[in-house]
Structure 1
Amino acid sequence: MLPWFSDGRFPLYLAPMAGVTDVVFRQICKELGADVMVTEFVSAEGILQRDDRTRKYTEFNDGQRPVGVQLFGADGVRMGEAAKKIIDWKRPDFIDINFGCPVNKVVARNGGSSLLRDCPLLTSVATGVAKAVGDQVPVTAKIRIGWDEQTVNAVEVSKILVDCGMQAIAVHGRTRAQGYTGEACWNTIDAVARAITVPVIGNGDIANGEDVARRKRETAVSGVMIGRAAMQNPWVFLQAKHYIATGEILPPVPVEERWKLVLRHCRLVVEGGKNGDERQTLIGMRSRLMAYCKGFPGAKDLRQRICQVTTVSEVEALAEFSIAQALAGHEE
């Protein structure tokens, strides 16, 4: 068993999200109570070609452990070689295989959720990685419940993956066809958890401590994975743990404290940015700022201003503007 599931623990995972769960955001979520980290997914082919841009996605620091590196691809042998290279570079606590990504550019390369339609290929990929890695580190997988509503096969796929050597499986409760729309099907996630012997991590529509407690109480999952809710509210991990321990809902995080974290995130990203290019770094941060600021006072004006930021000082000015709006009792 993976040690973070031992002694009755119910770990909270930060879901891997492309363009979101970089080393800085993982650090922030770890400090705010996330138990297990998974990197943004990374192309096995990119790893084998020693692409520096690809390799940076595998970076983490020891304070983020336990942390896994997530790989995608469709060739089991090549995937296994990539996994071994990652282990040689900086031994992660586990390798995770992406069988769930719904994005067209991944699916078109026969990766991610496309393998849910091809169980022989999925078996080949999972077996290839597990055999290559051996007992160096555990191998886990993330899946969706199926390709579409007519082909929900998560229980079958999960059994195959366990037979291939996967030591835990995260299940996003939507089909590939759903993308991120509609509701996650926790009945299917529960069915997977009851059908296999390794830990199952449930993923989908976890927004607060009450959601975590409900899934812990009503399903057989061994942990949950939080994704989009953490983008707006990384405090969700602390809030969830407090609710599970006490049954109390913590008050909302004040706008001032939220902005303090946003500014820290911006500064850390700029400090770690390539060639110290503050402008390009902040342009890349705009979508992240949009997520952080959802629901803030004066949100309409904020969105317009966020689309223009190119420096940390401009974000600081936005923070002053937003906090003033909050103190004035402005609501939108």
Structure 2
Amino acid sequence: MLHWFSDNRFPLYLAPMAGVTDVIFRQICKELGADVMVTEFVSAEGIMQADDRTRKYTEFTDGQRPVGVQLFGADGERMGEAARKIIDWKRPDFIDINFGCPVNKVVSRNGGSSLLKDCPVLASVASGVAKAVGDQVPVTAKMRIGWDENSVNAVEVAKILEDCGMQAIAVHGRTRAQGYGGEANWDVIDAVARAVKVPVIGNGDIHCGADLVKRKSETAVSGVMIGRAAMQNPWVFREAKHFLETGEVLPEVAVEERWALVLRHCRLAVDSGRNGNERQTLTAMRSRLMAYCKGFPGAKELRQMLCQVSSVAQVEDLAAWSLQKHLVLAEL
């Protein structure tokens, strides 16, 4: 049922990231070559309470397919009911279960990566969702390699998830204790991919086409998932695919094209009205804008100014200032 793995394809997933992979950013990444989308994680309890704010996180367009909605929680029966509600609202291509989030507010509610320490509950959650959904859509899971370096249990957990009906497993090669520090352990990801029969998607430290080719050739994964690298450089999907197909490194994306995308993202966000008015939307986007602008001419000064933007017009002014600075530097 996961047709994006057929014909020996090697799909590139956009990793789900809270506060980042909203419907607009997913649209941008899809246009730039991402194959499979996963929504920001949503609370199963929020879905069950018919909370409008939670429901907004499940939004997607048909142009983003294949797309999965990611759920977190610790009650398999309730999560199964929530999954059915989501399918009734707007049939996604799959339901994904979050067993990897390291954030305290999720872990403290016995969700995300906390379940890596409690395999019986993890199994009840996975089987509960799979049974509730039946054959309506596939159910997949995303996990980390373990809680900490002393409890790396990814192979054991993956086998449990496969037995519980998960049809693919994404593995982030860090422990919960690592957060996003240190290096992803691709040896463990590879061991997981060799231990189960379902497709395994490797996640962690994929920044360019060479990283993609290395992991495709040296491990048994069936695809890769790109997260933080896409925040700064959503062109990474296009670049990685081109390198995979040709062995050529595409020229660096011009500053002008980068700014055009930044401004388009801002305008789409304001038009969508997800965060209320223009000021609220741009305030919420400040960290995103700073990520986009890493490496721009005058980046340090630019980031300081981006911390204060509250309108698209202000971002347009900063773009004009940055591009002028770029032209001056180019003439030196």
Q: Which residue identity lines up with residue 72 of structure 1 in the other structure?
A: F
Name the CA distance, whole Å, in 2 between partners of 1:223 and 1:237: 13
Q: TM-score, normalised by structure 1?
A: 0.98
The AA in structure 2 aligned to 1:66 is P
CA RMSD of aligned residues (A): 1.1
Instruction: Give yes or no for the alignment of 1:321 onto 2:321.
Output: yes
**2:11/2:35 contact within 8 Å kept:** yes
Counterpart Cα distance in 2 of 1:237 and 1:166? 26
CA 1:276–1:156: 2 relative to 1, 3 Å: closer
Q: What is the CA–CA distance in structure 1 between the aligned matches of 2:322 and 2:53, rounded to whole Å?
A: 35
TM-superposed deviation, 1:28: 0.2
Equivalent pair of 2:33/2:238 in contact (CA under 8 Å)? yes
Aligned-partner SS, 1:8: coil
Q: What per-residue deviation string (whole Å, max 9, x for no partner) do you get for residues 175-198 of structure 1?
A: 000000000000000000000000
Q: Which moved more, 1:168-177 or 1:267-276?
A: 267-276
How far apart in 1 are the matches of 2:304 and 2:126? 45
Q: Is 1:278 aligned to 2:275, yes or no? A: no
Alignment match, 2:139 = 139
The separation in 2 between residues aligned to 1:79 and 1:87, in whole angstroms, is: 12
2:46 maps to 1:46: yes
In the alignment, what sits opposite 1:290? 290
String of CA shifts for 1:196-232, please: whole Å, max 9, x gaps: 0000000000001110111001000000000000000
- Quick one: which amino acid aligns to residue 240 of structure 1? A
Quote the offset at 1:275 in angstroms. 8.0
Q: Which amino acid aligns with 2:166?
A: M
Q: CA deviation at 1:273?
A: 1.1
**Amino acid across the alignment from 1:189:** I
Matched residues in 1 for 2:329 and 2:195: separation? 51
Residue 251 of structure 1 corresponds to 251
Q: Counterpart amino acid of 1:236?
A: V
Alpha-carbon distance between aligned partners in 2 of 1:34 and 1:74, rounded to the nearest angstrom: 30
Letter in 1 for 2:37: M
Whichever residue aligns with residue 267 of structure 1, its letter is: R
Quick check: 2:275–2:281 contact (8 Å CA) kept in 1?
A: no
In 2: Cα distance, 1:153 partner to 1:275 partner:
39
Counterpart in 2 of 1:159?
159
Letter in 1 for 2:320: E
SS in 2 for 1:328: helix
Residue identity opposite 2:221 in structure 1: V
Shift of residue 53, structure 1, vs aligned partner:
0.3
Equivalent position SS for 2:6: helix
Conserved 8 A contact 2:33-2:237: yes
Q: Quote the offset at 1:276 in angstroms.
A: 5.4
Quote the Cα distance in structure 1 between the aligned partners of 2:121 and 2:314.
49
CA drift at 1:304: 1.1
**Structure 1 residue runs without a partner (length 5+):** none
Structure 1 runs of 4+ aligned residues shifted over 3 Å read: none
Q: Distance in 2 between matches of 1:324 and 1:85?
A: 51
Q: Aligned to 2:171, what secondary structure does the other structure show?
A: strand
Aligned residue for 1:150, secondary structure, equals coil
Return the alpha-carbon distance in structure 1 between the equivalents of residues 126 and 203 of structure 2.
21
Secondary structure at 1:58's aligned position in 2? Answer: coil
TM-score (norm 2): 0.98
- Hey, what does 1:92 align to over in structure 2? 92
User: 2:47 aligned with 1:62, yes or no?
Assistant: no
Name the counterpart of 1:261. 261
Write the letter of the residue equivalent to 2:241.
K
| Per-residue deviation, residues 99-135 of structure 1 (Å, max 9, x unmatched) | 0000000000000000000000000000000000000
Q: How far, CA to CA, are the matches of 1:328 and 1:44 in structure 2?
A: 52
Deviations 1:127-153 (CA, angstroms, capped at 9, x unpaired): 000000000000000000000000000
User: Within 5 Å, which residues of 2 pair with 1:174-213?
Assistant: 174-213=174-213
**What is the Cα deviation at residue 326 of structure 1?**
1.3
Alignment correspondent of 1:28? 28
Rounded Cα–Cα distance in structure 1 between residues aligned with 2:274 and 2:131 = 36
Q: Distance in 1 between matches of 2:134 and 2:276?
A: 40
Q: How many residues align?
A: 331
Equivalent AA in structure 1 for residue 204 of structure 2 = G
